[in-house]
Amino acid sequence: MSRFALIGLAVVAGCFYTDVVNQRPSLDIHRRNEGPYFRGDMTKQIELSAVSSDPEGHNVTFHWRAYACTRQNACDRAPYFELSEPFVDIDVPPARFDVADPLLGVLVRLEGKDDFGAVARPVQELWIDVDNFAPQLKLEAYSEFGFVVTAPVEVYLEVSDADDGPEAPQVTWKVYSPSNQPDYDFVDYPAAPGPTGTKAYGKLLTPRGVGKYMVEASATDSIAPLPSVKSVDVTVIDDKPPCLRTLSPLVAIAPAALPITDPTLFQVHVVADDLDPYPAVNDGLRGTTKFTWSLLAPGGSRQVLTGVTGNRVSVNPASYQPGDVLELRVEIADRTNTAITCADASATCSVIADNSCLQRQTWRVEVR
């Protein structure tokens, strides 16, 4: 029944007059998206819409307020968000504004009134839990030397925290050494800056024994109940023996012998080794290969060329009789000085019984 009809009915009846009572509208908050919502997450807002019901069907206007809170009863006095629209998208700030506490929830209040000023009661409140972004960690271990005992391992950690920023998390380190508890050094190491929004940390692990080490990095933002943890395994191995790689001239295999008619340089051009390669690497850490040369001439015994310590030696055929067959031998060692125990008659030797990694090679040379 319309308002005018009621008035008309009253007039016609002639018995009484009463003003029509404007009833309050009622409100409800509808969530247009679901959580979780995260502190400071610029990629996801709280999306809400207001729903009203007015008994008289009057138009209702809305007013939203959102408060940054730690708990439901611990919110900022002033709202950080206000808007008079039926649909709102509310940002989630990382922290409260009144105090330096982190934001753990958002209290949303919706008020409304109809065109005649009837205020909706009760004011609608919605408590929205806000989650905390835990620190994100990226941990890597790197070594140019293949995780060889005594060789330093560079450990890089990148920390990011979407709500608190990369500087906020407190980082702690742990090193779990192998069960036999070898010594190790673990010191700060300058780390190259990481990508924007991250903080880089560097550590240098120098293991003194072989085995599986685990480097663990923890970061906490003091909000998450547990720290974020990442670990990386570093399996440290023994220093592998050096391997002869590139030699010149041709190594002849008995009974063949390389004919030489002119003074000839016998050279080792490349030795592969994790810590003591040849040619040397200019990095201040690696050393270089030790060479031992020996010569077996007809009618003699093998003589170590003690004055020759480098990667090459020359042989002058004029020092011998044409037809003489010489054996020129090179043996290599790295800092571990693993003994070459093969029989003297063996032209080649691998201390690890691997023919692709020789520490001894012998040129058979025929003087022409």
Partner 1 sequence: MRQAIAVLVMAAACSAGLDSNVRPDGNQASDGASADSGSGGCAVSYDPIDPVASPTLPIRAYTSVANPNGLVTFAWSVTFNGNAVPYTEQAADGSQIGFIAANPGFYTVYVTITNSFECPSASAVINVAAPGANTDVFRLRTVPPPSLAPPQETFVQVKGGANANRDITLETGIPVTGLVKNSATMAGVTAYLKFMPRTMPTAFSELFSSASGAYSLHLLTLDHDVLVIPTVAGLAPKLVTWTAVPTTPQLFVGPGTVVNGTVRGPGGAGFAGAKVQLYAGGVPSTLGTTAADGSYSVRTDFPTSATQVTVKVTPPAASGLPRLEATSNYNLAGAININYAASLTTCDLANTPVRRGGTAQPNAQVSIVGSLAVVAGTINGVNATNTVRVSATANGSGQLPTMLVPRGTLSAVTELSMTDHAVSAVNTSTCSVAQIDAPAMTAINGTTKKPDMTAIGGIRVEAEPIGNLALAGVAAVQVTSNASGAFSLPLAGGGRYNVRFFDPQQHVAPLVTNDVAPAGVPTNALLAQALSLSGKVMVGSSNVPAGTSVQILCATCSGLEQSRPITETATNNVSRYAIAVPDPGTM
Give the nearest distance from C-beta 189 to partner 1 in angstroms. 20
Q: Which of 280, 199, 277, 197 is nearest to 241 (CA)?
A: 277
Give the nearest distance from C-beta 242 to partner 1 in angstroms. 11
Write out the DSSP string of 75-137: E-SS-SEEE-SSEEEE---SB-SSSSPBP-EEEEEEEEEETT-PBPSSPEEEEEEEE-PPPEE
Helix (H) or strand (E) holding 335: none
Q: Yes or no: say if 315 and 264 are a contact pair by the CB < 8 Å rule.
A: yes
* 239 φ/ψ angles, rounded to the nearest 5 degrees: -65, 115
Return the exposure string of 170-194: e unless at least 16 CB atoms fall within 10 Å of the residue's CB, then b: ebeeebebbeeeeebebeeeebeeb
Q: Pick the stretch among 108-116, 134-142, 194-202, 319-327 that binds partner 1 (CB under 8 A).
A: 319-327
Give the nearest distance from C-beta 196 to partner 1 in angstroms. 18
Residue of 320, 325, 335, 340 that binds partner 1 (CB under 8 A):
320
* DSSP character at residue 281: -
Q: Pick the stretch among 117-125, 128-136, 213-221, 312-320 that binds partner 1 (CB under 8 A).
A: 312-320
**Beta carbon nearer to partner 1, 218 or 361:** 361
Give the nearest distance from C-beta 304 to partner 1 in angstroms. 7
Separation of CA 38 from chain center = 23
Residue of 314, 346, 352, 354 that binds partner 1 (CB under 8 A):
314
Residue of 322, 344, 346, 354 that binds partner 1 (CB under 8 A):
322
Give the nearest distance from C-beta 247 to partner 1 in angstroms. 10
Q: Which of 236, 180, 173, 232 is nearest to 207 (CA)?
A: 236
Site for partner 1 in 271-310 (CB under 8 A): 272, 277, 279-282, 288, 293, 295, 303-310
Q: Which residues pair with 127 in a beta bridge?
A: 107
Q: Yes or no: say if 230 and 139 are a contact pair by the CB < 8 Å rule.
A: yes
Site for partner 1 in 243-262 (CB under 8 A): 245-246, 248-250, 252-253, 256, 258-259, 261-262
**Beta carbon nearer to partner 1, 47 or 144:** 144
**Beta carbon nearer to partner 1, 172 or 309:** 309
Give the nearest distance from C-beta 152 to partner 1 in angstroms. 17
* DSSP character at residue 14: T
Site for partner 1 in 218-247 (CB under 8 A): 245-246
Whether the ω angle into residue 36 lies within 30 degrees of 0, i.e. cis, is yes
Rounded to a whole number of angstroms, the distance between the first and last alpha carbons of the chain is: 129
Q: Going residue by residue from 92 to 131, which x/- string records binding to partner 1, judged by CB under 8 A?
A: ----------------------------------------
Binding residues vs partner 1 (CB under 8 A): 245-246, 248-250, 252-253, 256, 258-259, 261-265, 267, 269-270, 272, 277, 279-282, 288, 293, 295, 303-310, 312-314, 316, 318-323, 368
